[in-house]
Amino acid sequence: MRRKILTYFFLFSGFVAGISANSVTTNAQTAGKKAYLNEIKTELKKKWPENRTINLVFHGHSVPSGYFNTPNVGTLQAYPHLVLEAVKEVYPYSVVNTIVTSVGGENSEQGSMRFKKEVLNHRPDVLFIDYALNDRGIGLERAKKAWESMIKETLNLQLKVVLLTPTPDLTENILDDSTSLEKHAVQIRKLAKKYQIGLVDSYAAFKEKAKNGENLGTYMSQSNHPNKKGHQVVRDLITHYLMDNREQQKYRLSQVREMMNKVADHQMMNFENQVRKGSRWENSHAYWAWTNATMYVGLAEWAKLSGQQRYWDFLYTIGEKNQWKTGPNIYFADDICVIQSYQQIHEKYKEEKIINPSIKALDSILNHPKTGSIGYYDKDSHSRWCWCDALFMAPTAFARMGKTIGNNRYFDFLNREFWVTYDSLYCPQEKLFFRDTRYKEMKEENGERVFWGRGNGWIIGGLTVIIDNLPDNYPDKQRFIDLYKEMMERIAGLQDKQGFWHPSLLDYTSYPMPETSASGFFTYGMLWGINRGYLDKEAWLPKAEKAWNALCSAVHEDGKLGYIQAIGADPKKVSANDTEVYGVGAFLLAGSEMYNLLYKIINNIIK
């Protein structure tokens, strides 16, 4: 293949994905990620005229060259350029060159022969070497000799070296410790340890993903070339060397912001089409419908945190189109969920027209409450909160509006009605809610009871809003907090290896696929609890970060969030292409709390 040497100079930052792609640690990073490049990090922080140009040189084969589906080359999506974007995000005053001396199809012997003339002549401050994929053709001994030759030449010039283990080749089983790639990865780790230099263990990171049940095909453009998502994994590992803890947190914050904007913008672009399309359920996507209302709630939280007016403009425009009305049946919980978002918009604009129809509706319920049975098939049962979803739809409206207008009657009503539903649907043994009374005797194929993922997600989402808005001295507030903690302990134990929850919480065999509306609410619940001090940060943050990373992995390149179960009442199978607006709402709530947490950490508000 014809030789190509590519050089890129610093550019503005572009797309960034979710938080650090993994939390894998490796045993052979003897140079120490924190300290090895301290001098480089110090230089990156300097401003003109004290700063100088930093050269990051990437030497290797087709992967750092940017080959995706050969012969297509995705230069700006390959990890050398993604590293440049990340560095510029957190070191805005730095002058950085990423210089790619890689050649597609080349092995380390070939790379070592041109090393002095075509690599060291660029005067690298840090040299990254990535050859293992192609070294399978020359064997371990010849590869070791070539790698050691390049390492020694670089160290003789007192320069820094970081070795990379390979990215996957789907023709080999990454979980098989006897493969050729595994052997080359082991050898590279030993070289890093021997010479006390840096190591980016890409192979271990992808292997961990495979162990957790992830499909590595989603990270690959062809069998041996990563796609952008795969390159982001390598980028995130490299940036640990180039950023201190504070810089890493700042970068994570920017990643969350980019991902949130990406998902929110995609939803806004497709919103009117979804309203018109609807579903088999009448008015399922009307402007006032619970489906859209859930998205409004998440979007309003993100608008408030991110300070982006365009999201407020969207929400205000929808409210005007709907004349700030609820759904037609104010006793049916779904039809008043939209009141939550009206309260949030009112908090921003302070216009009484925004909440006056909602106050009128809630006052009417208070003055003429329903008192019938909440057995699902009982007469008039749906005029009360007879299904668990309702605990996100209705009591939250009373909680938010009660705080806004200072009316304790709203709190007393939601308190009384919530615990009626709790007494009917909560299972103390499993610490989960049945969806409604129909499901109390139903069983999954594995013999376990039916506990719907999203149904219990609605509960967690509802509890957070209720607790946030009840006065601190409200007599039963602690009871809500205790229920939240009890449920979160149970739910945490049901998180899968990748970080997701599934459509059925107790039958992952029948429902092996993730479900992101449930996962979104549970992730939100974890992060919300950490931010409010209800959950211990040290114990819960690893679970929450794992959950957030899993959610981000379900986001398509265009911003569509997949694996969202369609409208229903119980577990159903779901695919990567299935999306729905309420799942986006849960995602935006989770991301808002992650953003809030990182902001607090960066600013020393939370340790």
Residues with a catalytic annotation lie at: 389
Phi first, then psi, for residue 111 (nearest 5°) are: -65, -35
| C-alpha of 180 from chain center | 33
Question: Given 3-state DSSP classes, what are the helix, strand and coil percentages for the chain, each rounded to the nearest 5?
Answer: 55, 10, 40
Neighbours of 179 (CB within 10 A): 16
Both tokens of 53, joined, read: 């140009």
Are residues 143 and 181 in contact, defined by beta-carbon separation less than 8 angstroms?
no
Are residues 564 and 515 in contact, defined by beta-carbon separation less than 8 angstroms?
yes
End-to-end CA distance of the chain: 52
Rounded to the nearest 10°, the torsion over CA 337, 340, 341, 345 is: 150
C-alpha dist (Å) from residue 166 to 101, 130, 180, 234, 534: 17, 7, 11, 10, 42
Residue 141's contacts (CB-CB under 8 Å, 6 or more residues apart) are none
3-class DSSP state for residue 54? strand
Q: Using the 8-state DSSP alphabet, how is residue 565 labeled?
A: P
Are residues 562 and 555 in contact, defined by beta-carbon separation less than 8 angstroms?
yes
Sheet holding 126-130, edge to edge: 6-9, 95-100, 53-60, 126-130, 160-164, 198-200
Neighbours of 248 (CB within 10 A): 20
Both tokens of 252, joined, read: 């994570």
Are residues 469 and 343 in contact, defined by beta-carbon separation less than 8 angstroms?
no
Decide the pairing of beta strands 95-100 and 220-222: unpaired
Alpha-carbon gap, residue 543 to 533, rounded angstroms: 16
Neighbours of 154 (CB within 10 A): 23
Alpha-carbon gap, residue 279 to 274, rounded angstroms: 9
Are residues 47 and 93 in contact, defined by beta-carbon separation less than 8 angstroms?
yes
Alpha-carbon gap, residue 315 to 300, rounded angstroms: 8
Q: Within the chain, how many helices (H) and strands (E) appear? A: 24, 10
Nearest Cα residue to 256 out of 586, 598, 515: 598
> What DSSP line would sit under 198-235, residue for residue?
EEE-HHHHHHHHHHTT--GGGGEEETTEE-HHHHHHHH
Phi first, then psi, for residue 6 (nearest 5°) are: -115, 135
